[in-house]
Chain A
């Protein structure tokens, strides 16, 4: 335990928040794989607070001294930490449960929050909130997994008796509980009135990101909006996002982008996802992949573009996910598009991109109709014309033939074809009008298929 407080003292002497936070990590280090066990074994529940006080005092005596209140607060924090480590070690030995770890880690969280509210912890120490908040969420998830597994083992009796028992809600009850505590940290950071340079406001984006992850996991992504609204109410007092570390900015932009994506606001979503992508560390492939998972469907709808092989080259999983669809869209092969969409359905639904990709069928259809237009060639030059003009009067029957063929030889009747064409015109994917009585489509001479060069 002495090592732990050497770190504590060094962190205080340097006012290094990350160093301090490392002392509260529930992870052994590679240089000291037995770290947790050693900490646990070095004290006893009857004497732990006294021990900690002693170690804090003896290690910090020749550095900047902590005031009495602060010491009191840290003693509470490390006593709670020691206790949680005990449960953690016990789980590894199969002698405890993740639920217990979660509970004791929650006590640690409360002790830390009290430190800021009642014992004058300084703002430079906020990385402690990051570490504690991060693992609180992970332990909650583990506890939920463990509980639902146990519930599955003795299924039958108990669950049937309770009518209002909702297994889905129950499954994530710890994570829901965890959200409450993360919100406390959020408020703790948000409401700090100290001048900016020594404000806990600098912790806000880290905590918001934790909350975002929690809401997404709880399938309540829309609750993230509430957080964003609260944040924007404080905007004037908040440091600019650009002043925060890139890891926090990228994560924040990603979740904000996905949130817009789920709200089907693809224009805004694209903005945030592009920012996240550009700012992301070049070697963080897993995260780049996650960003592209949403950016690709997004750009398909906003700008009707597809990813190149160069873009997908480092991401085999994305190739598998998107290349079949992309190929069908390019060709205008509607039938193959439907098949590819169906084949990827599980994956697409899981990643919440199915509905967006489904709308890509319009682009496939646009490309098919465009092919008919191109195949129609050019009208003969009229007097005074120097550049050839494409044939802009296209029989509905030609479009119909193409649509029947694209649908895999299925017979699509003329009414339905006209309906599809009207839809294309309505969505601005095609410019012109249908002259029904003559059975032709009159397309615009200036850009029949906007943005595609013809």
Chain B
């Protein structure tokens, strides 16, 4: 969140008098880049909320942290090889 606004407000004293005529809104945003922003409106109807946007359906937004389907990547293949080696060592 910092990168887009920071350069503009970081060194306001370097701007020329002409540039200072720009809307003060940006001016005053200094120090705000890392905190919760003021909403442009005070209140909004329920159908404008994020929950309504998602129709109360949030399942597709989170997934389990493991992956059963994808066992063909290099890491998984390598793991299988390692486990085979252990198996082989045991037999010896």
Contact = CB atoms under 8 A, between A and B. Distances in A.
Contacts of A18: 42
Interface stretch (A53-61, A113-121, A378-386, A398-406): A398-406
Contact of A247 (B38, B52, B89): B38
Interface residues of A, number: 76
Nearest to A134: B38
B76 to A, nearest CB: 7
B11 to A, nearest CB: 9
A371 B76 contact: yes
Interface stretch (A8-16, A193-201, A306-314): A306-314
A217 B1 contact: no
Contact of B32 (A138, A145, A395): A138
Interface residues of B, number: 50
B82 to A, nearest CB: 4
Interface string A354-379: 00000000010011101110110000
B82 A305 contact: no
B79 A27 contact: no
Contacts of A246: 39, 43-44, 49
B83 A401 contact: yes
B28 to A, nearest CB: 5
A27 B24 contact: yes
A27 B28 contact: yes
Given A27-B24, A246-B49, A405-B78, A213 B62 contact: no
B86 to A, nearest CB: 5
Interface string B9-47: 000000001001101110010111011111101111000
B14 to A, nearest CB: 12
B24 A452 contact: no
Given A30-B23, A288-B50, A331 B67 contact: yes
B36 A287 contact: yes
Given A251-B36, A282-B49, A331-B75, A367 B28 contact: no
Interface in A60-101: 92-94
B1 A367 contact: no
